[in-house]
Structure 1
């Protein structure tokens, strides 16, 4: 059998949020390269003979450099193996799936992208926050809370982002204060509803609701761990715990 790579999104948090197509690819795998944020029980879905290789990343701590991961995907597929690259959320939403796809294309290795449920939408939804609502938010944006360390300056236009009804910031924990300050400096109202969600979709989930002006302080007071996302906008008031403030400030 010829080898092939499957770039699979495992979804956020709970194991049963993976797609059926992703699960089927996992159940046929010869080798699984998996990330830090996947549900551990998903690895039990791979066949007993499948090799499981941890290639997870955390801030400033990479088990394996990205170039080495790319090379391993190519090597194993060329050896005739069915390779699953298992990533939290969706592989193309801040998951470096695009980099891996380009490496596979350059190497001429067959691959398939299996989209996953992105944490950008699912984690707020699991907390009861829709990213859009026709009464208060007709659009949303998703950005990263930190960028490549070697960038001289941020590529994000905070003035433009401050005008979008709902803003979701992934990987927000480290720079939470700077993110809030940037939005406030760009003109977003201090009393804009905001929430931080840590370990969304898992039994360890924590949710803190506040305003844009007070969110960073609330996150620090709660000592919220990573992974954490921030959602800013009137939709936060739709969360069940904020229901008494719905559509108001």
Structure 2
């Protein structure tokens, strides 16, 4: 059932833009946990977990503003308009994004909208999915003698992949975290192998990183498209990384089986 939301004129409020982390509420920063408890209005992305949202004040108005991948959802301009309208009504607004708000979270667009409206804001960082995924593998995202840089890419816009430095990504020892890359898995495989990456380059997909239903799918560049096609939850593709105990792990290992 739809409902209308009115915005009475009042003293201008404040907007906090925060990262909710990868899903486990234990990975929230103290600052974000406080913001959840104090917010009058929470505008959250689809991937913010129910366990995190359970920390909100029972009096808060909680509105989902996200969308499924390549599916319908609220337009960015409308999300920005909601933030501005609620803040102008004197409400304490929390714009809650999964992971870290500054990584593929359209943070700049929302800050520009708040600046243009003269609304004060605070930005609170969060743990990004790549960090949680690597931790699940028992691996470091950088390692002496292996890689001195980490690349974070998004597979949501396949056209943007054309600008990636595929030659560097194809080098032995390269490590990259690819967000929202399930649909682009075959494209990634083709580009990397075209630039000389070996078919047996380790590639691990971490599905639902940090959550109770987390699963680790260890494989290689050769198996990447087939593995990605079998996943239903959000996943981070970790190029160049394999679980620490790969020799003893099945290709798909639920979180509870690793304890």
Distance 1:242 1:62 in 2: 42
Structure 1 position 90 matched with structure 2 position 100: yes
Contact 2:23/2:51 (8 A) holds in 1: no
Counterparts of 1:1-249 in structure 2, within 5 Å, are: 2-147=12-157, 154-163=162-171, 165-220=174-229, 223-233=230-240, 235-236=241-242, 239-242=244-247
Unaligned runs of 5+ in 1: 245-249
Figure out how many residues of one structure are paired with residues of the other and give that number.
238
Of 209-218 and 20-29, deviating more is: 209-218
Query: Secondary structure of the residue that 1:209 maps to in structure 2?
Result: strand
Q: How far 1:138 moved relative to its partner?
A: 2.1
Contact 2:207/2:214 (8 A) holds in 1: yes
Contact 1:54/1:63 (8 A) holds in 2: no
Runs of 4+ in 1 over 6 A off after TM superposition: none
Contact 2:12/2:119 (8 A) holds in 1: no
Query: Secondary structure of the residue that 1:45 maps to in structure 2?
Result: coil
Contact 2:168/2:174 (8 A) holds in 1: no
Task: Give the superposed CA RMSD.
Answer: 2.1
Query: Secondary structure of the residue that 2:54 maps to in structure 1?
Result: helix
Aligned to 1:247: none
Deviation by residue 1:122-176 (Cα, 9 ceiling, x = unmatched): 222123232112142222111001218xx58733232233237211111111111
Normalising to structure 2: TM-score of the pair?
A: 0.85
Deviation by residue 1:35-78 (Cα, 9 ceiling, x = unmatched): 11112122222222210111111122233111000011011111
Normalising to structure 1: TM-score of the pair?
A: 0.88
